[in-house]
Amino acid sequence: MSTYKAPLDDLRFALYDVLGAEALFADLGFADANRELIDAVLDEAARFTETVLAPLNRTGDEIGCVYDKASGDVTPPPGFKQAFDQFVEGGWTGLTNSPEHGGQGMPALVGAAMTEMVDSANLAWGNFPMLSHGAVKALETYGEDWQKTVFLQPLVEGKWTGTMCLTEPHCGTDLGLLKTRAEPLADGKYSITGTKIFITAGEHDLVPNIIHLVLAKLPDAPAGAKGISLFVVPKFKVERDGSVGERNAVRCGALEHKMGIHGSATCVMNFDGAEGYLVGAPHKGLQAMFVMMNSARLGVGVQGLSQSERAYQNALRYARERLQSRALTGAKNPDKPADPILVQPDVRRMLLSQKALIEGGRLLALSAYAQLDIAHHAQDAAARERADTLVSFLTPITKACLTEWSIENTYNAQQCFGGHGYIAEHGMEQLARDARITTLYEGTTGIQSLDLIGRKTAATQGAGLKLFLAEVEAFAKQHADDAALAEFLVPLRAKCEEWGKLTIATLTRAATNPDELGAASTDYLFYSGYVVLAYWWARSVAAANASDRPQAFKDAKRDTARFYFARILPRTLAHKAAIEAGADCLMALPDAGFGAH
């Protein structure tokens, strides 16, 4: 059975030493977010996730959610409701939400650290409160005043939970094809009819009411994505005065049979004339959808990181304990029948790969959340705009890379266990299965790649990339005389220069052949991710050297950075070659050439 220990030491290093969270929060006006309070939040989150959530992880996988076909009710695994009640009682559901709606008003950056712990401990359980955050953001941004009054506080306080009902069986990512319709009623409400699939936490008994945010089309809707509207549709009808009435005409039609996250209720939701309210302007639901999805995309990136972290902890423990064979340079434990497998170079390669991608990836994710805080709370409008551009650029990189790396990391953890990694006893196969969904949630890796190279680069003339490259250059100039960083700064600056040239060349080819963007997109995303991580590893070494951390901690950061630059950053060479190969080799084969099947 896998175990979990919250990585508080590295979380604190990332927050305080690298990102300067204390000064950042003070500048942004978070008067109460001092180090004493943040440490208390981290400590309590660690206690809750280690002792309450982590022991339920295997139970959730083995028992899963239970669906009652007759009633449409869904019962989560044993212990999930009791854990949720404790989560609500502890005030965790409103940690980063506005005090105006019953939240605690903490920075998003602190919430991200807490979320990593929750998802590492129990990814399936963490899905139940996760989607409420996106629902809250959409209602805060586009809801009418009465909708904010009626819906936000119960969602923030965890008395109700929220969902995002977007996709349908026939349309997938192309939401312009959706068929769910909304008919106006005489009392200002709307009758919603249609079927939504893959709805996380669409039905459960953790709370008495579930608030569905549903995309649908009005009778006069224009064709395509421009005709989408957003509606709030409660499981139990809610009037404008906040009173709760009878059961609405919305029902779970089935539970998806999934590869992993068995403890998470992934539902087919049927709306049969369910009553709801329009959120925002008619036919403008796409903007509200992106508010929900952008919030969720960073969260899913953290989910990928969380599975990597738990897998690494257990693989490292096993590598230290498992005695098998001898070190290639001679016995390290001559008094024992064999050496621990940790002495083997290839085992160390797998563990160092995990460590480098996790610790660097943690900074990638947390830095994106720091930019989110700046975008929402900075006093200076220019600072807010800069941060918004930067976080928009980093979001597809964070989501795609951290989730794809979770596949690599959980795979390497299984390899460390050998055959024991394939059986349920040690928990590695569950982590490998659970991690898979993170690459699909809120848009596949291919969708994130197109978003990065299309919307976030080509459409903005590289605005986010320019800001990031400027940040790297400023850091490099600041440490130009630091001999201890030279081994990292020289290759980092070279890669950044190459990144800029590669981007210009790719966009130039795409100007005459649009297929070039699609052909380059995935390799461009990973190239970008590896260069971004190189920056954060250079920042880590600089921060560690300047800190009062033990020398062993500083040495570990430096040695891991060296491994990253020597063994992982060179992956950019293959991605660059693939990008430069162009679209012709992908598009030349006729459809029939793929075969008869």
Which residues are part of the catalytic machinery? Answer: 442
What is the pairing mode between strands 209-216 and 160-165? parallel
String of DSSP letters for 62-73: HH--EE-TTT--
Please state the φ and ψ torsions of residue 212, each to the nearest 5 degrees: -95, 130
What is the pairing mode between strands 74-75 and 66-67? antiparallel
Identify which of 235, 303, 298 has the alpha carbon closest to the alpha carbon of residue 270. 235
For residue 254, the surrounding DSSP H or E stretch is strand 250-255
In this structure, the number of other CB atoms found within 10 A of the CB of residue 230 comes to 32
In this structure, the number of other CB atoms found within 10 A of the CB of residue 122 comes to 32
Identify which of 377, 363, 370, 362 has the alpha carbon closest to the alpha carbon of residue 391. 370
Identify which of 522, 143, 126 has the alpha carbon closest to the alpha carbon of residue 306. 126
The amino acid occupying position 471 is E
For residue 165, the surrounding DSSP H or E stretch is strand 160-165
Q: Are 164 and 135 in contact (CB under 8 A)?
A: yes
Based on its alpha-carbon atoms, the radius of gyration of the chain, rounded to whole angstroms, reads 24
CA dihedral in degrees (280, 283, 287, 293; nearest 10)?
A: 100
